[in-house]
Chain A
């Protein structure tokens, strides 16, 4: 199985659990990490198709992790989504300034996340050897 691989990084276990469940239901393979260091360790094992990271975390936070992940794997084109607080404006400003990074607002809507990911993967060119994405009836 070559399911799409998502790496979720957040220091709140309930967020990880809820998002993991929503994503696994859609057929994604999900790995979770509780801070930036753990996330980099996971990436060394297997590179994800999408990295979804919180900003505020103990240990290595999202502001450090996201640019570092890009710099460490410059040849690996993965999507980075950061979860920003709806109330902290500076987090959104920061997220806008990081190239090839998009932000989702917390409290995160699992529906929006799933919709965002399927749009992302639908827009990707089909890679040889990968089974086509399941197409829902229009």
Chain B
């Protein structure tokens, strides 16, 4: 608004020019486009009074061209010049003079001076307006820079990729002062949102469904950012029907195709989404594009890892049908204990792989020994004792599993030092190995073997309690008991995971026994 710039100028300068160029002490008054006084050399009271009277009388400030205009006011004459900036009227320069000038050329000098000054003021306003527009633009760039730096830092600080989107959206909702920020990628079934509510939204789930469905389809075909502020926007016939939210939706591209959307929502009573909001939204959507590509790559790698591990386990368990599902059950139990013990993320990750792959070394045990129904001879048992070391030899080739290997290698060590392969005792046994040992013991007791049927949960718990301090770490055992008491059902879930083939002969064995 150029007329807002009038008060920023110093008009006393113009007053001096006027006096110098006309040689008279005319008092300058500056009015805005409606004729209201903005500045006066006489002080506001004097000039304000006659201007008010003039405006109150319905004076319309008629202009014939952009030169000086005259209007008779009783004994005086009002002389005024419009100030035009970019073709728009932004105000008037006015002088009230006695009706009979001393010399005929005085009017001409006054007209010339007023017109020059009006031109100069208009130029100044224009320049000021351009500067302000530039500062505005700069301010948007600052906003952008701030966000980009902040995203950068946040991404660097993220330990794992899981909460990346949630954390980012939360900070963006705060920064953009939006009620809801959401990232939706239907192809990967991803729908992450964060809220910063100025007023409650009762049907947030429905709102997310709306985004996932119609809004995504709309953005997918339009390929443009969507800004919808008005309640009667015609597009509401297709998107956000009956939902009065203000919407800013930016498509997220990958290889020139829209694969996801970033959505910001505001309650109707909040301010409209502006042009600079839209620009910021596009910057964020751009970042989301590369982040989500990274995220899918990570997810793919991690899926590949797990499938490789599953294949490896399958190879071990194919040798002995009685141990089917054993690695997975031990893994679930060990992870539950690990989480209850509040292991840091890095160690939990090691436990994840260590527990899953702890028995990989059994691949090297002859089938005749592994599946033998009945007691093993001393020689046969030596084969069994080698398997943790064998697990280590297999897994050490994988850099990613460096931290996980000790858990697998030492899961047969006993707390009192009588275990194998190294006869470690107490805290010399890696913590993960002590956790895996408890989980392994539980699953071995409750599982059926070629030579005996699986025993009950109660028997297993009693046996584990008996071994606490001798074979098993009492601290880990205590935590295992706490977890079992707190949630009696979770162990039962793993029993369901047992292979029915493995339990059928066990039932017969019970009868035979």
Contacts and interface: CB of A to CB of B under 8 A. Distances in A.
A and B part of one assembly: yes
Contacts of A131: none
Interface string A95-110: 0000000000101111
Contacts of B139: 18, 21-22, 110
B138 A86 contact: no
Interface string B464-484: 000000000000000000000
B269 interface: yes
A17 B135 contact: yes
B149 interface: yes
Interface string B140-152: 0011011101100
In which size bucket is the chain B interface? 10 to 19
Contacts of B135: 17-18, 21
A124 interface: no
A111 B153 contact: no
B175 A112 contact: yes
A138 B198 contact: yes
Contact of A21 (B136, B146, B149, B177): B136
A42 B153 CA distance: 36
Interface residues of A, number: 16
A137 interface: yes
A115 interface: yes
Contacts of B143: 109-111
Given A137-B269, A138-B198, A138-B199, A112 B146 contact: yes
B153 A86 contact: yes
B132 interface: yes
A109 B142 contact: yes
Given A86-B149, A86-B153, A110 B177 contact: no
B146 A107 contact: yes
B142 A18 contact: yes
Contacts of B146: 105, 107-109, 112
A110 B149 CA distance: 15
Nearest to B138: A18
A108 B269 contact: no
A108 B140 CA distance: 11
Interface in B208-238: none
B186 to A, nearest CB: 31
Interface in A19-43: 21-22
Contacts of A109: 142-143, 146-147, 175
Interface in A75-126: 86, 105, 107-112, 115
Nearest to A85: B149
20 contacts: A17-B131, A17-B135, A18-B135, A21-B132, A86-B153, A107-B142, A107-B146, A108-B142, A108-B146, A109-B143, A109-B147, A109-B175, A110-B143, A111-B175, A111-B177, A112-B146, A112-B175, A115-B177, A138-B198, A138-B199
Q: Shortest 3 CB-CB distances between A and B: which pairs? A: A109-B146, A107-B145, A21-B135
Given A86-B153, A110-B143, A111-B143, 13 more contacts: A17-B131, A17-B135, A18-B138, A18-B142, A22-B139, A105-B146, A109-B143, A111-B177, A112-B146, A115-B177, A137-B269, A138-B198, A138-B199
Interface of A: 14, 17-18, 21-22, 86, 105, 107-112, 115, 137-138
